[in-house]
Structure 1
Amino acid sequence: MRGVAMSLTAAASGFVVFLLSVSVIQGQDGWEVTYTSTQICAVKGSTVNIRCSYTYPSTMNGLVTKVEKRFWFTELNNGEHVDLTTMSEYSDRVQYNSKNEDCTLSISDLRERDSAVYKFRFITNHSTGKYTASPGVTLSVTGLQVQVSRLQFYESSNWAQLKCQSSCPLPGHHSYVWYKNGQNIQGQTSDSYSAYVYPADSFSCAVRGHEDFPSPSVLIQGQYGLGVTYTSTQICAVKGSTVNIPCSYTYPSTMNGLVTKVEKRFWFTELNNGEHVDLTTMSEYSGRVQYNGKNEDCTLSISDLRERDSAVYKFRFITNQGGNYVGYPGVTLSVTGLQVQVSRLQVYESSNWAQLKCQSSCPRPGHHSYVWYKNGQNIQGQTSDSYSASFYPADSFSCAVRGHEDFPSPSVYGPKLPSVSVSPSAEIVEGSSVTLTCSSDANPAAKYTWYKENVNKPLSEGPQLVFSSIRSSDSGQYYCTAENKLGMKTSQYKFIDVKYAPKHPSVSVTPSAEIVEGSSVNLTCSSDANPAANYTWYKENQKPLQRSEGSYHFTSISSEDRGNYYCMSENQFGQIKSLSLSVNVQYGPKRPSVSVSPSAEIVEGSSVNLTCSSDANPAANYTWYKENEDSPNASGQIFTITDIRAEHSGNYYCEAQNRRGRQNSTLHLIVVADHHSSGAPLLIAAGTISVVLLAVLSLSVFLWIRKKRASRNSSGPDNREQSEPEEQVDLQYATIHVSNSQADPLYSNIRAAQPLRHREQQEAVEYAAIRFNSGSAAPRTRGRDTGEDPAALYSTVNNTR
């Protein structure tokens, strides 16, 4: 059966009857409490309102009277006044009216063990201002019962008239629910029900809205007078006690003209295989089961009850005429042990104080004497079911019914030091599922709360803290608390170390400002990883540079080191590549290289380009100079002479410069006119003179070059002049061919350029030879005897007149 419990008040449908509806006034001198009724009967599962009001003098001894505390209590054996709201058995079921001078008490979800005498008490700010209203209100809680008001037997079935009622008559009109063999009988809403029944049918009833509190099931006597009647179908008993399950049975005195005799009768429990096994033959009940031997009385007695005795018990009898009958639905026996309930607790600096109660979910009829134990030792003189005392966190308490000391309650005690376990117990990897479990030995069972170090609020409640996909940020120290009504304990820290692959590396360069050639430079790579990552530096399109702890060091960086770098961060869980880091090395210009263009034959009067280039960062600026001229001839890489003439002869040098330095290279350009006398005599003389001059110049240059070479070969380091460069002079030649009539080809003399006085270092000197061809004869080839450089650069200028 299932249903929803509904709280109905006395003013509505609370199933409450005031057996003595008389106002009762107690007190004197202005102190009084009025109960609307002193005896109330209510049905199990309903809500009862015990109406009450009180008055007190407004002043006493010149002081204004104030009510500091008011509460309801029940009569306990030791006479203590315990507020109902602090007692666990009334938890969430008791409410007090908050209006002034109204002390009405409401109890919901009534249970049969709520039957008691209830009294109201209030305490004022005066030392003598305490008042308890006697005799109080007697509350009786009862359940519904099915009564068989009429029964008729027929050949194939029986007919019965049933009534759902209680010892507390229910005021007003109510709707009922009827059950046959546990199933709801649709359409039946009256408190009476009539129907044909069969031998195994059972019936119960409930008030609609309170289906959770039905009456016990009743079995109707069977066909031909065969039947079994159970006084109650549900019984609760305490472990160690003896229970009687009342039962009676009937059968016809004769059947088919023969006298009926009962040949066998026994009790059995429902087994998985459906067999009917006599309890007296079962070893677990040996010596503990008795059947009543009187005729038609089938009462079962079980002594020394154990919790495993909880079961459904059924009676069966067999007659001499083959008739046998089983009483359905049977009796459900629930065996429970004693429990110590903490009804009140106060915490002090050095110890705690508690009020304990020894009870069971099965109320014990009559008055009993109890035994109390503290840390396993009998507390002498304690015979009540309640006990109050100071205790320390390590103390434990238990109780027993006197005479049944072998069946004490479990001990109650505060939590022991909690332990924390982690699953999996091996390495924890980011993204995996991880469970932390907190456990503590405690009774009542402990409530658990999880915390993380340096986090101000709790993470969660419950014995387990679950990370479905743990993150690296979840690493840290964790702990839990275990708490019950008798105390609280905190576990030790548990460190969770989450392993994970490297995160995206960050790269940096030191210094972060401009990097100058020759300086010290560090490249640094860092990545969040657990365990710590290993790093490898790479230069783009090259092999790894080195494995390191994150830094790569240039003690003296060079221009060749410029480029893009990146690092690889890795551990056993993965690897990741950083973004590229550009290293821009700044340096002064390298020695410039110079060239003449075009390199083929150049016609006099045409354009000639002198080009200068140098490796530099930042890019170099270029300036061209001619020796013995104060101002630059040109700026830029290319110096263009648009109309080449003999007067353009001389030393030219280019200077490459940026903010990191400067370098020079020199080019020696000689333009000589060579004329033959194929025309006017003046032109021939000029040609002859030119030939002689050219020959003298060529011989002078040749002798000078040989002398210099000889000097270099013979002189040691100490004999060298300070202005002479140590390296081989780099020569370049340019020849300009001027064709003037039919003169023989002439070659320009070549001489070394004089070093500039303002230069601090020896500059490279490059030469350009310009040839004027004043005739039609073929130009002479230079031989080995001329002493000229075979790698000379030639340019030819043709002058045709």
Structure 2
Amino acid sequence: MVTSVRMAPPLLIILLVIHGVSSGDWGVSYSPSHICALNDSSVIMSCTYTYPTGYQIMRVFWTKGTVKKGQERTDLSEDPEYRQRLQYLGDKQQNCTMRLSHVKDSQKYYFRFITDKDKAMGMTGVTLTVTDLQVESPERVTEGDSVRLTCKSSCTLTDRATFIWYRNSQPLTERRDRNNELLLQSVRREDAGRYSCAVHGHNHTSPAVQLNVMYAPRSVSVSISPSGEIVSGDSVTLICSSDSNPPALNFNWFKGGMFVGSGRIYNISKISSDDSEGYKCKSINEHGEKYSDAVTLNIMYPPRNVSVSIIQSGQIWARDSVTLICSSDSNPPALNFRWFKENESSAVGSGQSFSALQSGRFYCQAHNQHGSQRSDAVTVTVKVVGRLVILYISIGVICGAAVIITTLLIWRSRMKKRMESQMNQSRPHDRRKACNVELSEPVYMNVTLDMKMP
């Protein structure tokens, strides 16, 4: 495709005439004599030539550059570098126009023809200047600024030239260009990248230029190493990361709102459960600062602060007992509890609660996968009030039964007496007390109390 450039006016070039032929009969006209083209574009070198009547054209070709005296000119159509790129559009009469595609180097080209009697060449030739497109932009801008990028070339391109802009080799979908300029209003960090330009209709694209957008830290985060389970006593490293331009070099660390250190990396040796409070880092560069979200460390540790609380529970119809509750602080929470009586090696119970049926000093031991701890011993006194109540109730039941039996026996005896004698004189009877009951005559009973005291 032919490049869009402004051409110089036609120029008539006089040929060097060989063997004394009059130069007035020989001539070559190059139009234009100077062409400026974009790299990798195509150009047409318009050309006409004349020669004396009676001469027959035997060969025509284009050649380039200067040669040493006596050295034969090379036909570019036979040069491997030009063979596929050069197309002769003229004839063997007057037209010597040539098309050259994918131009690469600045060079000077000449038309040469050979007749049946002589040969000649246009000595001035066509000067081809090959140039690149260049993007001009500021080296660095700050987020929020307005930025103007310019696509330039040493060639004078026509006003009808349409410019295409690319960011990171991708064409910009929005047409934000004005002539050969690209205007970015209120530039964002997403606008950073490598910008290049091209002219519509040409294959050549300018070298890319980096647009560097400066901005304050964002996306500040804290990572934990090691990333797995943290156990009390381990060493832990906190790492602060952020996205900023230029990269942040200043970092501050805060624990529960209090400053505890500086630097991108914060180390905690022999960590404890007291170190689980939320940590934040602050990332700083010359354009601003930002805090990360708080990170709470989940620190595993064995039971501590193990204690026993006492709950009295009287059970009237059974035995008195004292309920003991074991409490502890651990992570994860302790689920395994064992109970011991002081000075005894074997456990007397398990579970978070324990019912003591006898007096003594008891303690508990709490366990999780990271260790165990025992509580201090507590003194437990089991009272026997409940047992006396049971004894009194048992005696009352027996006495009540005895009264009923005695009453029945008395009633039966009196009925018998009445039948033997209705008029017998009453005689005095011994008073017997059995369970606070007065009897008119002796009654004997055999009651056995079978009560086992624990």
Compute the TM-score of the two structures, normalised by the length of structure 2.
Answer: 0.49
Structure with more strand by fraction: 2
Greater RCO, CA 8 A, separation 6+: 2
